[in-house]
Structure 1
Amino acid sequence: MKQRLLVLGCGFVADLYMRSLAVMPGIEIAGVFDTDKQRLKHFCSYWNLPLAPTFEALLQSAPGALVLNLTNPGSHFETSRACLGAGHPVYSEKPLATTFPEAKELVDLAISRGLQIASAPCSVLGEAAQTLGQALRNNTAGTPRAIYAELDDGFITQAEYHKWQTESGAPWPYEDEFRVGCTLEHAGYYLAWLISWFGAVRTVVAASAEAVPGKEGHGPHAPDLSVATLFFENGPVTRLTCSFVAPHNHQIQIVGDAGVLSCDEAWDNDAKIRFARRIKLRRRLMESPLKKRIRLKQPTHPKVRKWGAAAMNFMLGPDEMLSALAEGRPGRLSGDFALHLTEVTLAIQNAGEFSGAQTMTTRCDAMEPMPWAQ
């Protein structure tokens, strides 16, 4: 029996979910809605999906079905709240909300209604993140002492982003991207991995700034560069950098007593995980240039081919949540996880120049590995 899913929003990211859906058997789209009628019609025609004429009709078409909230970030709070109020669990695109009080209200509402709520990104459930997690549990690099993680996407304002569009014709939402900012949009790709491995962040020491002013579109624009030092309750000190300025770099390096674990691309579920053992060569201390590939037993999960800058299965999150709902268990991407991820991300984004050390008020436990990674 197929599990039913409702889709709210037909913008740029929606096509990425539909491409991923093609490799995920057992999920049926019961209805789709978008306030842009022309876009809605074109999207549903392209993907051969059932169109709902109104938001209310969408929610009524499959009572209690999981809603995949793909609206613009500024609409996440209002639309997710309406879905929860109508008795629907929600999987939201990132961010869960653009302010912490709104994110907390959503999680509290879900709890009060006996519903589940989760948010992207779900690459934490992918093979690369799960392989690194297993390597950490196996002590492959010894005790981890420091982590450097980079999420730099190049000098975006000089890119030809007006030409970026999905296969069904949705343009890249540059105004949203510049208003919401690289940190709120992208920090979660590595933050989710880190929190899944080590649990809650205790303290954030960060700075953020708009390094390139005068971006196209209506402002105010969010910081386009942030640098954070994260102190975990049970993990190594971590530096995380996000920008729309520095050359493309999505590398993470986990420095342990015995060597360095690394991954070069957060946006590729199939990215290679490597271990470089620390060696002494004559009087020189170095990491071995002969890196060992770390692999999980196959199969892991369905993969999608690269499109644009990413090779990610965007349906891993909704699929895991549907499984959790069917099995009557909490999802791995729980409300607590989403809320803590949101608080840490906002602390980094809003740090500015003078915020100093910020103590987190939420917490969550480390994530249970996927069955094929245990």
Structure 2
Amino acid sequence: MGKPLKVGIVGCGAIIAQYLANFRRLDQIQLVAVADLDPARAQAVADDYDGVRAVSVDELLSAEDVDLVLNLTIPAAHAEVALKAIAAGKSVYGEKPLAATTEEARRVLDAAREAGVVVGCAPDTVLGTGIQTARKAIDDGLIGAPIAASATMVTPGHERWHPNPDFYYQPGGGPLLDMGPYYVTALVTLLGPVVSVIGAASHTRNERTIGSGPRQGGKVPVNIDSHVTGVLVHASGALSTLFMSFDAVKSKSPNIEIHGERGSLVVPDPNHFDGDVQLFSLGAEDWETLPVSAGYVDSGRGFGIADLAATPQGMEPRAGGALAYHALEVMESVLESAHKGTAVAIESTVERPGSVELTVLAEQADALQSK
């Protein structure tokens, strides 16, 4: 309450650099410790970040000065690390997905509830000006009642640039579970919870070739569906279509489109925090770019933790565990539907997260101080 949230990070892989850059800008967060299975990686972070110590995972989880554990491990380890942190009395904020399966994710949420700690989860991109400006346009009635949406993510595969892409092609990875959290979380933020899904999926190659780094030319086995499509039925009646691929080359389609009775929106890439929102109104002659009107300005990875720190006690964070669980169940159910060939009902639901007023960094700090 008015004091920085003291954070320890488990996992010092590629994604940590983005968090560290933003932690340096966020007065609400004080990074105190880092840990990794490779001690040298943790030490490298500590050497470059004043006031941070490199420790073992067990030491970090038991540290009295760690309030929240930021879990940046691979998806298969998300639940294990989160449960250990919760058992140590720590709140947890994880990279997406919340866990490799909904069963594991439910254990995390149940344990957190029993321990009285908070669970947050990426993506926090939905808190930026791109998705939030689109949400405000919908809430203000600029497109009328939403009818449908489409979400498209096409890439020939992360092995082309990632030096250690193995986990992308194992259970817990794949285009849907890797990139789908950005799109599904955005769709739920924009259109509300999902009640059922229909899916289809394909698997085109049994191995991938690493394209960069010291393992360049090495082979990675593929044990997931590498191309997935799905239809999400929202509780509002709107229908969203997903197209997630590690097989195709490129798409010229917008990342997300939302269509309503009186207009259509082009929503920017949900893997980014900003971007233009375009509106085509019924009877208009061309698209118009809407002014930035909502969301955290100039935000990045880690803002979800700062938002969590400013959330009143007892309230679910905007980038919270309940939303992450719902998104994970939606994605898991799309894959289940693809394998069964039938529609799958979604058992969980979640309240549409609260909107974010247009907020610059200084105002965000002031909001935390006033809590």
The TM-score range, normalised by the shorter chain, is 0.7 to 0.9
Are 1:63 and 1:87, in contact at CA under 8 Å, matched by a contact in 2? no
Distance 2:340 2:325 in 1: 24
Are 1:32 and 1:49, in contact at CA under 8 Å, matched by a contact in 2? no
SS for the counterpart of 1:215 is strand
Are 1:23 and 1:302, in contact at CA under 8 Å, matched by a contact in 2? no
Residue of structure 2 in register with 1:67 after alignment: 69
Evaluate the alpha carbon distance shift between residue 363 and residue 40 of structure 1 in structure 2; reply closer, same or farther with a 3 A threshold. Answer: same
Distance 2:111 2:333 in 1: 23
1:370, distance to aligned residue in structure 2 (A): 1.3
Residue of structure 2 in register with 1:334 after alignment: 320
Residue of structure 1 in register with 2:287 after alignment: 291
> Which AA in structure 2 matches 1:294?
L
Distance 2:183 2:355 in 1: 16
Are 1:30 and 1:62, in contact at CA under 8 Å, matched by a contact in 2? no
Instruction: Give the TM-score, by structure 2 length.
Output: 0.86
Mark the runs of 5 or more structure 1 residues left unpaired by the alignment. 165-171, 280-286, 305-312
CA deviation string 1:240-298 (max 9, x = no partner): 1111122344521111122211124222322100101233xxxxxxx73x211112347
Residue of structure 2 in register with 1:372 after alignment: 358
Are 1:198 and 1:235, in contact at CA under 8 Å, matched by a contact in 2? no
SS for the counterpart of 2:27 is coil
Distance 2:310 2:79 in 1: 24
Q: Does 1:251 align with 2:255?
A: yes
CA deviation string 1:65-99 (max 9, x = no partner): 01100011111111100000110010010111111
Residue of structure 2 in register with 1:97 after alignment: 99
Evaluate the alpha carbon distance shift between residue 328 and residue 105 of structure 1 in structure 2; reply closer, same or farther with a 3 A threshold. Answer: closer
1:350, distance to aligned residue in structure 2 (A): 4.3
Mark the runs of 5 or more structure 2 residues left unpaired by the alignment. 210-218, 360-371
Evaluate the alpha carbon distance shift between residue 177 and residue 46 of structure 1 in structure 2; reply closer, same or farther with a 3 A threshold. Answer: farther
1:157, distance to aligned residue in structure 2 (A): 6.5
Are 1:20 and 1:314, in contact at CA under 8 Å, matched by a contact in 2? yes
Q: Percent identity at matched positions?
A: 23
SS for the counterpart of 1:145 is strand
| Greater mean alpha carbon deviation, residues 222-231 or residues 196-205 | 196-205
1:63, distance to aligned residue in structure 2 (A): 4.7
Distance 1:318 1:334 in 2: 10
Distance 2:308 2:331 in 1: 22
Query: What are the within-5 Å matches in structure 2 for residues 220-231 of structure 1?
Result: 220-231=222-233
1:158, distance to aligned residue in structure 2 (A): 7.4
Distance 1:157 1:136 in 2: 33
1:22, distance to aligned residue in structure 2 (A): 2.9
Pick aligned residue for 2:87 from 81, 85, 88: 85
SS for the counterpart of 1:12 is coil
Residue of structure 2 in register with 1:324 after alignment: 311
1:51, distance to aligned residue in structure 2 (A): 2.4
Q: Does 1:274 align with 2:275?
A: no
Pick aligned residue for 2:201 from 194, 205, 208: 208
Residue of structure 2 in register with 1:303 after alignment: 298
Q: After the TM superposition, which segments of 4 or more aligned residues of structure 1 sit over 4 Å from their partners? A: none
SS for the counterpart of 1:319 is helix
Q: Does 1:260 align with 2:264?
A: yes
Pick aligned residue for 1:357 from 338, 343, 366: 343
